[in-house]
């Protein structure tokens, strides 16, 4: 099985440790991982701002980078959802359809494809799980509170396998953190207020760490936590799964 690692641009630039953890978690599962070095970005920043048509170059580059592998795995629900919903290159419909189908967020790849039942990881802390919206409602990584349907959580399932980890309950299990791509600067006031409220929910329940499947949400929450000089830290779920 050949897995290509898709590292979101801002993770590449600001959170290399998250990409390294993703790579190592996959390798620990016996998977051969390659990292196509010409990759840049999924094109979501342009598309979510209304400029899907400016993302053509990005999309072409993505297709060239990832055409040749069994699976494409990424530590980001949001970027994966964007690829799955919107990757398009004129004249390469078959290729893009195949890529869209083969692209997985890290957690769902571990639970659904590799069907991981045990982990050798240890993280003896109280942890709050931030359910990023695109992963949750888009990729269905966990059940959403809006629906009358049985609960499940793929991320929760994996975190349950981590030694010493104590998952805290939140008042609002799946409220958006307010990052929202360019929303975080275009609607700065509301974005920050949403982030502050999310952080407060985790703090009120004694979380030492806030984790999640998307570094973008966590970057936003981290910016707020550090401005508050809060002892609460953020950590990507890949880092927890890779911790010992």
Partner 1 sequence: MVSPSHPRQDHATLAEKFNRDEARVDWHDKTLWFIREKRDRAARTLPEWEDLREAASQIKNRVLDNLRDYLLQFEAQAQRNGVTVHWAANAEEHNQIVHRIIQQAGVTNIVKSKSMLTEECHLNDYLQEKGITVVDTDLGERIVQLAGESPSHIVLPCIHWKKEEIGELFHKHLGTPAGNADPKFLTGAAREHLRQRFMTSRVAITGVNFAVAETGEVVVCTNEGNADLGVQLADVHIACMGIEKIIPERKDLGIFLRLLARSATGQPVTTYSSHFRRPRVGQTMHIVLVDNGRSARLQEESFRNALKCIRCGACMNTCPVYRRSGGHSYHYAIAGPIGAILAPALDMKQHADLPFASTLCGSCTHVCPVKINIHEQLYDWRQVLARQGYVGGVKKLGLMGMAAVLARPRIYRWSGALGRWFMKHMPALVNNRLNPWYKQREMPAVPRQSFQEWYRQNRQQHGQQR
Site residues (CB under 8 A) for partner 1, limited to 144-173: 144-149, 172
The distance of Cα 12 from the centroid of its chain, to the nearest Å, equals: 13
Q: Judged by CB under 8 A, does residue 180 bind partner 1?
A: yes
> Please, is 166 exposed, middle or buried when counting C-beta atoms within 10 Å of its C-beta (0-12, 13-18, 19+)?
middle
Asked if residue 103 lies in contact with residue 6, where contact means CB atoms within 8 angstroms, the answer is yes
Strands 71-74 and 2-5: parallel
Assign 33 to helix, strand or coil: strand
Least distance from partner 1 to the Cβ atom of residue 234, Å: 10
Least distance from partner 1 to the Cβ atom of residue 45, Å: 6
Least distance from partner 1 to the Cβ atom of residue 37, Å: 6
Q: What share of the chain is helix, strand, coil (3-state, %, to 5)?
A: 50, 15, 40
Furthest-apart CA pair in the chain: how many Å? 52
Q: Judged by CB under 8 A, does residue 98 bind partner 1?
A: no
Region of 234 please: left (phi>0), alpha (psi -120 to 50) or beta: beta
Which one among 39, 111, 155, 213 touches partner 1, defined by CB under 8 A? Answer: 39
Lay out the site mask for partner 1 across 182-221 (x = CB under 8 A, - = otherwise): xxxxxxxxxxxxxx-x---------------------xx-
Which one among 52, 98, 100, 167 touches partner 1, defined by CB under 8 A? Answer: 52
- The interface region with partner 1, picked from 92-100, 112-120, 178-186, 236-244 by CB under 8 A, is 178-186
- Residues 4-33 close enough to bind partner 1 by CB under 8 A: 7, 9, 11-17, 19-20, 23
Which one among 105, 108, 201, 222 touches partner 1, defined by CB under 8 A? Answer: 222
């Amino acid at each position: 099985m050949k897995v290509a690692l898709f590292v979101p641009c801002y993770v590449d630039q600001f959170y290399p440790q998250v990409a390294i953890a993703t790579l190592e978690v996959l390798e620990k599962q016996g998977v051969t991982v390659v990292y196509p070095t010409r990759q840049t970005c999924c094109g979501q920043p342009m598309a979510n701002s209304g400029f899907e048509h400016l993302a053509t170059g990005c999309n072409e580059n993505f297709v060239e980078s990832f055409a040749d592998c069994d699976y494409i795995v990424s530590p980001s629900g949001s970027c994966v959802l964007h690829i799955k919903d919107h990757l398009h290159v004129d004249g390469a419909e078959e290729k893009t359809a195949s890529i869209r189908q083969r692209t997985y967020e890290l957690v769902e790849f571990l639970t659904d494809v590799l069907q991981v039942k045990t982990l050798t990881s240890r993280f003896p802390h109280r942890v709050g799980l931030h359910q990023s919206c695109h992963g949750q409602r888009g990729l269905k990584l966990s059940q959403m509170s809006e629906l009358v349907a049985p609960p499940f959580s793929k991320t929760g399932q994996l975190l349950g396998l981590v030694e010493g980890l104590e998952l805290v309950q939140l008042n609002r299990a799946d409220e958006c953190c307010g990052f929202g791509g360019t929303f975080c600067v275009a609607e700065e006031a509301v974005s920050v207020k949403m982030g502050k409220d999310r952080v407060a929910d985790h703090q009120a329940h004694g979380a030492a760490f806030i984790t999640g499947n998307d570094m973008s949400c966590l970057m936003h929450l981290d910016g707020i936590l550090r401005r508050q000089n809060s002892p609460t830290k953020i950590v990507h779920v890949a880092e927890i799964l890779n911790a010992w």
